[in-house]
Chains A and B, each alone.
Chain A
């Protein structure tokens, strides 16, 4: 069964602090994709990153970085020097081969972590 766990319900930091959002996933598939989406207060879902199960290289994009470790089934997200505009709900998601025909690409989301960055 597939599952995504984001154990941190809410995190509050002061601007310029670094913050790491944890994501642990469960899957029996050897081929899968992991994602992070941001949901600002306005409600839309904004794609941040996709990582496939064969690529364990960490990735950095500006102030954002992601640490993928298959050994611990984790895909953590770090924001360096956080800003007030980073305040949002962040969702980790998993996509694996499943369903009719084997390839539907559905996303399984975690519960989300609400990040509040205070000035």
Chain B
């Protein structure tokens, strides 16, 4: 069964450094998402991406964050200058169609655990 893959599984970075989290969505999916989960807390929406542009972003997704689909397969989340509070599990998700067209469930990757020192 096709799956969303995320790399790396664990990333340790010094505060202030840039970090790029990578995701390969399921190949025929068109909608892409990033979520984060601070340890022991709920999963929070960061950003949705469709047709090569951001379709919605949350308050968490400030100017330090950016997303990109550099080629036909990868979907990346960049944090420009990491802070301690960015430490969390980051999940990538994709879905075949969006809400208005028979909304399909989002398939999640296994996550990247980001630790900021």
Contact = CB atoms under 8 A, between A and B. Distances in A.
A100 B105 contact: no
Nearest to B58: A106
Contacts of B50: 104
B12 interface: no
19 contacts: A33-B103, A46-B108, A47-B105, A47-B106, A91-B43, A98-B56, A99-B55, A100-B54, A102-B100, A103-B99, A103-B101, A104-B99, A105-B48, A105-B103, A105-B106, A110-B42, A111-B41, A111-B42, A112-B43
A118 to B, nearest CB: 21
A109 interface: yes
Contact of B45 (A33, A102, A106): A106
A43 interface: yes
Interface residues of A, number: 31
Contacts of A98: 56
Contact of A97 (B31, B58, B89, B100): B100
Contacts, number: 82
Contact of A105 (B54, B95, B107, B111): B95
Interface in B53-94: 54-56, 58, 89, 91, 93
Contacts of B45: 106-108
A31 to B, nearest CB: 8
Given A99-B56, A100-B56, A105-B103, A44 B42 contact: no
A101 B43 contact: no
